[in-house]
Amino acid sequence: MGATHRIAVIPGDGIGTEVVPEGLRILEAAASAFDFQLDYEQFHYASADYYTKTGTMLPDGWFDQLNRFDSIFFGAVGWPDVVPDHISLWGSLLQFRRHFDQYVSLRPVKLLPGITSPLAGREPGDVDFYVVRENTEGEYSSIGGKIFEGTDRETVIQETVMTRTGVDRILKYAFDLAQSRPKKHLTSATKSNGISISMPYWDQRVEAMAQNFADVAVDKYHIDILTANFVLHPDWFDVVVASNLFGDILSDLGPACTGTIGVAPSGNINPERKFPSLFEPVHGSAPDIAGKGIANPIGQIWSASMMLEHLGETEAAAAVMTAVEDVLAVGGDTLTPDMGGTATTKTLGEAVRRQFETNT
């Protein structure tokens, strides 16, 4: 009998509650095909309903409760009619990211069959890379302040924080990932021409880390031309590593270049496994289509594949993606409306599960 993985499941709000069951459907199929156990428990906090009942997004004991799990499988949080977005986000997801030291934000950027890229003439295979974003420090520090408010001398300062520990650990993660891929190519996002202290430091740490990875080809671009190259030459990239702010921008731009937001997944990862990592689709709760049963479940299913990879179930993770690609390649009515079809969340989720069972 294989390993047992303990998973906390948090559907959240809106279409989160519709796509999470489709993720669980494929996870269950994967567990029985690849002989491992999934021991999961659902939590209904981190949602507008919970907030309405309790006045908070999370209960007091959330940290100890979730810390017992190997991973967190998350839907989406946010229902702006009931809870302001800064409260729902800061009160839940951002707490998880900080307290569980999920310092890697990992987003695959891959053009799947059956999906039209907004970049003209691009085919599956042309776009297949990862954005690795530093998720805890950098430009998003709260060090700084305001003085002379309301006067002519009004002054605001917010500092960028780069620690050697923080920079080296994200670089190591990105180099390891690049080394594990056929192209073994790492691109660093910088701006050392304009930001003259922190970014030259980042470049210097990239050079130092590269010494440990002789087989990885390294290049770097300033963030301005790098964004242009994502659009003009997406085939140039394999693993792109970036500070918090640059990574935030690149990790939305990248998936946007591969079509619908409904398919994009992400991992918030603590690589040392000291704390649980969290896997979720890139999209939010989509209030405009929530309750209609037409949300695209592929982002959630792909997140399930990333979670399996993290849990060491590499073959199962790959088989999930093969099933997704096979179903999307058939296209037509099997697809949800955002991809041009007429399918519901459930029928597409079920099609992926059936394909998975046929393949395995």
End-to-end CA distance of the chain: 18
Q: Rule CB under 6 A: is residue 218 a binding residue for ligand NAI?
A: no
85 contributes a contact to ligand NAI by CB under 6 A: yes
Of 280, 302, 316, 320, which one interacts with ligand NAI (CB under 6 A)?
280
Under the binding rule (CB under 6 A), the answer on residue 285 touching ligand NAI is yes
CA distance 137 to 295: 33
From the list ligand NAI, Mg ion, none, pick the one residue 261 interacts with, judged by a Cβ distance below 5 to 8 Å according to partner type: ligand NAI
Q: At what angle do helices 314-330 and 298-310 cross, to 10 degrees?
A: 160
Which positions from 242 to 261 touch Mg ion by CB under 5 A, shown as an x/- string? ------x-------------
Q: Where are the alpha helices (DSSP H) in 35-114?
A: 48-54, 62-67, 85-90, 93-99
Cα–Cα distance for residue pair 73/10, rounded to 1 Å = 6
Confirm or reject binding of residue 210 to ligand NAI (CB under 6 A).
no
Token couple for 343: 């399918």
Build a one-symbol-per-residue string for 136-175: x at contacts with ligand NAI by CB under 6 A, - elsewhere: ----------------------------------------
Secondary structure percentages of the chain, helix, strand, coil, to 5: 45, 20, 40
Minimum distance from residue 341 beta carbon to ligand NAI (Å) = 11
Q: To the nearest whole angstrom, how small is the minimum distance from the Cβ of residue 340 to ligand NAI?
A: 12
Q: Compute the distance between CA of residue 360 and CA of residue 267 in angstroms, rounded to an integer.
A: 25
For ligand NAI, the closer of residues 127 and 301 by Cβ is 301
| Residue 285 binds which entry of Mg ion, ligand NAI, none, CB below 5-8 Å type-dependent | ligand NAI
Euclidean distance between CA atoms 311 and 71, whole angstroms = 8
* Ranges within 209-248 binding Mg ion (CB under 5 A): 248
The contact mask relative to ligand NAI for 42-81 (x = CB under 6 A, - = no) is ----------------------------------xxx-x-
Give the angle subtended at the CA of 134 by the CAs of 64 and 78, to the nearest 5°: 60
Is residue 296 a contact point for ligand NAI (CB under 6 A)? yes
Residue span binding ligand NAI (CB under 6 A) among the ranges 198-206, 223-231, 243-251, 293-301: 293-301
Does 341 sit near ligand NAI (CB under 6 A)? no
Q: How far apart are CA 91 and CA 88, in angstroms?
A: 5
Structure tokens at 58: 């999370």
Residue ranges binding Mg ion (CB under 5 A): 248
